[in-house]
Amino acid sequence: MVTTRSTLRTQEMLLNMGPHHPSTHGVLRLILRLDGEVVEEVFPDIGYLHRGIEKIGESLTYKQFIPYTDRVEYLASMNVNHLYCMAVEKLAGIEVPERAEYIRVIMTELNRIISHIIGCGALAMDLGAFTPFLYGVVEREKVNDLFEMTCGQRLTYNYMRIGGVSQDLPEGFVEKTYAFLEEMERRWDEINRLITENEIFVQRLADVAVLTEADALSYNITGPNLRASGVDWDLRRDMPYSVYDRFDFDVPIGKGERGTVGDCYDRYLMRVRETYESLKIVRQALDGLPEGEVQAKVSKVFKPPKGEVYMRAENPRGEMAVYIESDGSTKPSRIKFKTPSFNSLGVFNKICRGQMLSDLVAVIGSFDIVLPEVDR
């Protein structure tokens, strides 16, 4: 008798992937129901990193909470700083000086660049290609040098302020940033030559864990993961905030170039191409950087009026939003974050069914999740 898959007697198995598995990109436990090496179901088990940040925010003043926003998403701290400050400014009707707006865009786009560098490098490393990650870390350190000379920090920056930024750009920052843009474009080309068209890399990602446009919208997937599924949507262009309406940039969309639209390869390509667009935005912001103040006048005892506000921004992993409710005191009565990685985890069970166990590391890396953002 010829043995085939249909004649084999298999037994389902439950397997824990994580919470210490290096490819889960944080303290994430996936409970897998397997038939041999084929994934039948995936149950994300989160909660290992919960720190109660939102509740902490209700016991601090509006200004005191800014450093905590860095910890919501440590790979894009500037972006979360920016989102929270914009929300409070919208609540209180504060107008931010133009120079501060340009500086904010420069900082958030630089943070987007290094976030995508680490995301792409970590994905390649998960699949066995270690060198691109090291190349990416070198470029990331150059941006960290720029951040350090501006605010003294390299990971959690606490640079944004309600009404602007904590301090103006230091002497030499603009020149060093221009130099970085030139170097980064050349190095990013080189990294892409290493992996983007590498046949092994492509085969590990193409046609794996396809997220259709309908499912992406149904699960409220946002950012690069949504655009990889063919949805042409970017908050910076379609509902511009800050001064993004002054910059010219393209929004890459997934086209299934080496497989199916919405597969792991498309999600990887979105971050590669968005990095080039962020380089363009930073260059334009530097070219048009106006003179002037970097901080609006804000009362030391800051009390916004009673009311509520909902603000969202296009962060590296997708749309992040914050809801703030004010009772007119110095402290918010309610703070709630909506984060993109949480939604991305929600779709895993659907798109991972039928995939091989070895493909899960590619799926996790392609979504570029970060657990502090999931587990607040």
Cβ(285)–Cβ(109) under 8 Å?
Answer: yes
pLDDT tens, 291-330? 999 999 999 999 999 999 999 999 999 999 999 999 999 9
Pairing of strands 307-315, 318-326: antiparallel
Amino acid at site 322: V
- Of 249, 278, 262, 217, the closest CA to residue 76 belongs to 278
**Cα-based angle 331, 337, 342 (whole degrees, multiple of 5):** 160
Cβ(70)–Cβ(157) under 8 Å?
Answer: yes
Cβ(26)–Cβ(370) under 8 Å?
Answer: yes
Amino acid at site 88: V
Task: Please tell me the distance from the alpha carbon of residue 206 to that of residue 256, in angstroms, as a whole number.
Answer: 8
pLDDT value at position 338?
Answer: 95
HEC profile of the chain: CCCCCCCCCCCEEEEEECCCCHHHCCCCEEEEEEECCEEEEEEEECCCCCCCHHHHHCCCCCCCCHHHHHCCCHHHHHHHHHHHHHHHHHHHCCCCCHHHHHHHHHHHHHHHHHHHHHHHHHHHHHCCCCHHHHHHHHHHHHHHHHHHHHHCCCCCCCCEECCEECCCCCCCHHHHHHHHHHHHHHHHHHHHHHHCCCHHHHHHHCCCCCCCHHHHHHCCCCCHHHHCCCCCCCHHHHCCCCCHHHCCCCCCCCCCCCCCCCCHHHHHHHHHHHHHHHHHHHHHHHHCCCCCCCECCCCCCCCCCCEEEEEEEEECCEEEEEEEEECCCCCCCEEEEECHHHHHHHCHHHHCCCCEHHHHHHHHHHHCCCHHHHCC
Show Cβ contacts of residue 151 under 8 Å, excluding neighbours closer than 6 positions.
Answer: 157, 158, 159, 166, 167
pLDDT tens, 242-268? 999 999 999 999 998 898 999 999 999
Show Cβ contacts of residue 69 under 8 Å, excluding neighbours closer than 6 positions.
Answer: 77, 80, 81, 83, 84
| Count of other CB atoms within 10 angstroms of residue 219 | 19
What is the separation of C-alpha 156 from the centre of its chain, rounded to a whole number of angstroms? Answer: 15
Distances 372 to 219, 263, 343 between C-alpha atoms, Å: 20, 25, 14
Cβ(371)–Cβ(44) under 8 Å?
Answer: no
* Domains of the chain as residue ranges with CATH: 12-374 (1.10.645.10)
pLDDT value at position 23?
Answer: 79
- Of 105, 150, 116, 97, the closest CA to residue 284 belongs to 105
Task: Please tell me the distance from the alpha carbon of residue 177 to that of residue 284, in angstroms, as a whole number.
Answer: 12
Cβ(277)–Cβ(252) under 8 Å?
Answer: yes
- Residues of the chain under the 70 pLDDT cut: 1-9
Tokens, residue 7: 């004649």
